[in-house]
Structure 1
Amino acid sequence: MRTRSILGIFGALAALTTACAAPQQTMAATPPTPKPAALTDSKYGPLSAADVKLMNLVQETSIREITLSQWALQRSANPQVRAAAQMIVTQHVQLQKEDLAAAAQLGLTLPDKPAEDMQIGIDRMAKENGKTFDTDYANTLRQAHGEAFILIAQVRADTRNTVVRPLADSANNFIKMHMQVLETTGDVDYGQLPVPDAS
């Protein structure tokens, strides 16, 4: 009987040891913490890849949207489209100046033409007139502004650079107004916009 009791105690101890060891195996499987994004030093504070991406995007979109909005002023008979176009031209001229000044301070060279995917839209709308142009103009710019709005918010929230921060503020204020004024045209198809990701 005593032998059985001793064996039972050893068995219980072995089971307890195995149970205690299980969490250690789970902890070992935890993925490593991701490395922070690389930063470039500047006298105005660290500069991230997202900061530079925003500055390039502001320049590229300003070139595109000034061009398209000038066409809208010439071609559209819709007063709401024309009002949106006038606001977008005026504010992108100002935003482009701020962007170029910020780039000069940071020693960066910005693009002098739109990105290839933007040029496709410019080439397409160059051949359009009337309602076709109005609809394409409102939807192309509304979707582009929504995508830019996400990057601007990220940069404004996280940038460590004192030159980029006020530029992101200006871009945020203008882009929000542009989305709103484009929506007043009545031509925006919200079904074309991406579904928000809750993750």
Structure 2
Amino acid sequence: MSVASRHVMATGVVIGALAFTLIALLIPVQKFGGSAVAAAPAATGDDDGAGTLSTAFGPLTPQDRDFVRKVRLAGLWELPAGRQAQQRGKRPMVRTAGEHLIEGHTELDRRVMEVGQALGIELPNRPSAQQQGWLDQLDAAQGPQYEQLFAQLLRRAHGKVFALVAQIRAQTRNSMVRALATDANTTVLDHITVLEATGLVDFDGLADAPPSPSAPLPRPTK
């Protein structure tokens, strides 16, 4: 074999090795929002398996996506609960709380749909099984029991969400998620305030399981 032939062969081997290396590097890369990002290892906690993604608004973690979906889920049951409170509530403050739920979650739902679309997050379109169970409890409750159950269920749910909103607001590096958390913080605090103003919230029972329709409920404060 001539020197020229050996040189051509060696060059071909080098080019082939470089091509193989390039392919190997590209395999773990996935597309998101028009930019390529390396697939991150699965994280613990509320992880959808997609890892941390690069977006035009900053890194998007599994926890960020989980928060956005939970904001959407909140509206899917609290909006119907608010409408029901306006229709069935006897006390003016219960109807007022229902009005705040409708107004707050209508706007928050609009915002979360924008965020979901911008960040490529698939959002739920129906309440979770637990949330549907709460709505079923409200449907079955009658008279004064309905108003007490409404105040207790909604106040307990908002208290849990409030802690999550604060955590995401403090930790997220995604500007769209941060803005959504800021809006959610304002909305949730408003709802907590009007629910407490009904005088029907049993604060000692907030840490316990939510009351069932058959369970005795506390007397409303005057």
Q: TM-score, normalised by structure 2?
A: 0.69
The alpha carbon displacement at 1:40 in A equals 2.0
1:55 aligned residue (68, 73, 78): 68
1:117 aligned residue (124, 127, 130): 130
The alpha carbon displacement at 1:41 in A equals 1.7
1:95 corresponds in structure 2 to 108
Paired AA for residue 179 in structure 2? P
Q: Is the 8 A contact 1:145 1:178 kept in 2?
A: yes
Paired AA for residue 47 in structure 1? L
Q: Deviation per CA, 1:14-45: give whole Å up to 9, x if none.
A: xxxxxxxxxxxxxxxxxxxxxx8752222211
* 1:81 is aligned to 2:94: yes
The alpha carbon displacement at 1:88 in A equals 1.0
CA RMSD of aligned residues (A): 1.6
2:168 corresponds in structure 1 to 155
Query: CA–CA distance in 2 between the matches of 1:110 and 1:77?
Result: 35
The alpha carbon displacement at 1:74 in A equals 0.7
2:177 aligned residue (164, 169, 182): 164
2:118 corresponds in structure 1 to 105
Q: Counting helix residues as a fraction of each chain, which structure ranks higher?
A: 1
Q: Deviation per CA, 1:39-92: give whole Å up to 9, x if none.
A: 222221111222111111111110101101111111111001001110110110
Q: Is the 8 A contact 1:45 1:162 kept in 2?
A: yes
Moved over 3 A (4+): none
Q: Over alpha carbons, which structure has the higher Rg?
A: 1
Query: CA–CA distance in 1 between the matches of 2:186 and 2:200?
Result: 22
The alpha carbon displacement at 1:115 in A equals 1.0
Q: Deviation per CA, 1:109-135: give whole Å up to 9, x if none.
A: 100011111111111111223211111
Paired AA for residue 84 in structure 1? A
Paired AA for residue 39 in structure 1? T
Query: CA–CA distance in 2 between the matches of 1:49 and 1:117?
Result: 22
1:13 corresponds in structure 2 to none
2:192 aligned residue (162, 170, 179): 179
The alpha carbon displacement at 1:194 in A equals 2.3
5+ residue gaps in structure 1?
Answer: 1-35
Q: Is the 8 A contact 1:76 1:129 kept in 2?
A: no
- The alignment of Structure 1 onto Structure 2 pairs a total of residues equal to 161
Q: Deviation per CA, 1:150-198: give whole Å up to 9, x if none.
A: 1100000010001111100000001011101100001000011229xxx
5+ residue gaps in structure 2?
Answer: 1-42, 45-50, 209-222
Paired AA for residue 88 in structure 1? L
Any residues of structure 2 matched to 1:17-32 within 5 Å, and which? none
Paired AA for residue 133 in structure 1? Y
Q: Is the 8 A contact 1:66 1:93 kept in 2?
A: yes
Query: CA–CA distance in 1 between the matches of 2:65 and 2:154?
Result: 22
Give % identity: 33
